[in-house]
Amino acid sequence: MMDDVDQRSWRRITELHEYRKFSPTDRQLELYDALLSAPCPPDGDSSGADRLTLLGYGGAMGGGKTRAIAELAMDAALAFPGNNVLVARHHLSDLSSTTMKEFLAHCPTGLILRRQQAPTQLVQLRLSDWPEGQTSTVNFRHLSDWRGLGSQQYGAVLIDEAGQVEEDAALMLLTRLRHPAQPQRWFVAASNPWPGWFQRWFVQRELTEEALNAASGKVEFIPAKIEDNPHLPDNYADVNHALMPPAWRERFIEGRFDALLGRVYPDFDPDAHTWDQPLPHFSRYIGGLDFGGQTETAHYTAAILAGLVRSDRLSPPISEWQRAGMRTPPPKPEHHYTLIRLAEFEDRGPGVIQRLEQWQKACRRKYGPIRWAADRSQSAWIDHQRRQGIDVVPASGAPGSILYGVNLVHERLTSDPPYSFYTPELTQFPLRMSEYVWQSGDDPDPRPRKRNDDLLDADRYMHELLQQLPRPFRTQTFRLFPEQPRRRARRYLEPH
């Protein structure tokens, strides 16, 4: 429910809509209701209170998301005089040709005091009844390099096509919501159904909402559907439904976030691949490494460690299958070793290699000797690790090794029973597996998308190393006399 402050803001916004001849759809009205009904502070006094709404608007294509972002930018700038608003996408070229173009097409020229195109794109807006010299600014920025925004302050942050934007960029922008002109601060993200932070924040609701509510904030998600947009052709949904493959229809026509499109490991299932039993005795330990950069925006440096247990030792003992009435024992395992991931490392920035090596040494103290495999193109880092006394070998790196390694991981996941697990202590690994997708397009030689793939690259190198290990064999002790020590058996075989 809106309080008095919210009601005044809404009346002002509706007046602005009439002036701009903008008629929100029923779905877009839900956006305004969410943004203007932020929770009251714990003391119940909402007058002048700073409040924050995180709003996700996502789903089907053609739902009116870009138009909504453009209109919200105008509303935030005009309803809160002196405001500073950010409209953003990952790439500037996409921003200029879509969201910014939509903004300029529907913003009355009489409201635009000044437009700047270099060094940054911005539009200054002003109403005639404002005090002399007071303006609001709408900034249009790309987020492919977001660190430069660290000193900015905004009243509203509006991100279009948020599925293309890095999570670190979104987190940084949350800290920029502090402009005094707009106490009812808005963080609005619009996206089609893609795996990533948008899905986790707004659809799966993984943010700590109780703590946010206690701080006068809230999280809302509003689905976007094709039928919400009255400006589309009447046959828009039917034509695209006929042309698209089933997975695309579920995502882009029906707007389903649970229809996973293009996952590299579609059979990965935390329920099936989490090892929740006591750990077995491991035969050996192996790991994978992927070295990243030394800056805060570089690729991650990642590592993953697994224990190997002989698969036949995980099979039911003879007594169990005999008691179960089985005439023959279970079939031999498809893979000689079962792999259980035990630890992970994912970090970046200055000093990351030193932190990695400290983590590796801690793993060695806990588990014992470990052999690591790393990208063979990173030979300088491999040599550096060897000088530190760490056992590292280059991964195979053969032509087609990416798809080969993906297939090695896939085989162990899809076996019945699986031969690949991870312990519940790993948090980034299941997240990265769920969001790992193929690059889009018609490339005849597809590759996984290069975003947050470093931990899974390390996992792939580990599987390539596993493939090179000798197969285990059963040791059978031959003794003529069981009571005699083994070292004396030869005496009874020597001729007299």
CATH number at residue 387: 3.30.420.280
Task: Mark whether 406 and 362 lie in a shared domain.
Answer: yes
Mean pLDDT by 10 residues, the chain (496 residues): 68 89 90 80 54 92 91 95 96 90 94 92 94 95 83 94 89 93 94 86 87 88 89 87 79 76 83 93 95 85 96 60 53 79 95 95 96 92 94 78 84 88 96 82 63 92 90 47 39 35
Task: Mark whether 87 and 131 lie in a shared domain.
Answer: yes
Q: In this structure, is residue 419 part of a structural domain?
A: yes
Using the 3D structure, point to which of 192, 221, 253 is the last residue of a domain: 253
Four-residue CA torsion sign, 483, 488, 492, 496 = negative
Q: In this structure, is residue 430 part of a structural domain?
A: yes
User: 316-324 long-range contacts, Cβ below 8 Å, gap at least 24?
Assistant: none
| Distance of alpha carbon 271 from the chain centroid | 19
Q: In this structure, is residue 495 part of a structural domain?
A: no
| Distance of alpha carbon 299 from the chain centroid | 14
Q: Is the peptide bond before 417 cis (omega within 30 degrees of 0)?
A: yes
Task: Mark whether 87 and 123 lie in a shared domain.
Answer: yes
Q: How many domains would you assign to the chain?
A: 2
User: Which residue range forms the structural domain that includes residue 199?
Assistant: 4-253
- Residue 301: the pLDDT is 95
Task: Mark whether 172 and 274 lie in a shared domain.
Answer: no
Q: How many of the other CB atoms lie within 10 Å of CB of 358?
A: 12
Task: Mark whether 223 and 346 lie in a shared domain.
Answer: no
Task: Mark whether 126 and 182 lie in a shared domain.
Answer: yes
- Residue 487: the pLDDT is 40
Task: Mark whether 235 and 275 lie in a shared domain.
Answer: no
Task: Mark whether 281 and 183 lie in a shared domain.
Answer: no
Q: In this structure, is residue 263 part of a structural domain?
A: no
Task: Mark whether 146 and 249 lie in a shared domain.
Answer: yes
Q: How far is CA 44 from CA 5, 276, 291, in A?
A: 13, 45, 51
Whole-angstrom Cα distance, residue 312 to residue 331? 10
Q: In this structure, is residue 240 part of a structural domain?
A: yes
Q: Is the peptide bond before 424 cis (omega within 30 degrees of 0)?
A: no
- Residue 330: the pLDDT is 52
Task: Mark whether 274 and 248 lie in a shared domain.
Answer: no
- Residue 3: the pLDDT is 61
Task: Mark whether 28 and 144 lie in a shared domain.
Answer: yes
Q: In this structure, is residue 490 part of a structural domain?
A: no
- Residue 79: the pLDDT is 93
- Is 218 buried (19+), middle (13-18) or exposed (0-12) by CB count in 10 A? middle
Q: Where residue 202 sits, what CATH number does that domain have?
A: 3.40.50.300
Cα angle, residue 427 at apex, residues 421 and 430 outer, rounded to 5°: 50
- Which is it for strands 217-224 and 51-59: parallel, antiparallel or unpaired? parallel
Place of tokens 């996408």: 89
Contact 39, 214 (CB under 8 A): no
Task: Mark whether 245 and 338 lie in a shared domain.
Answer: no
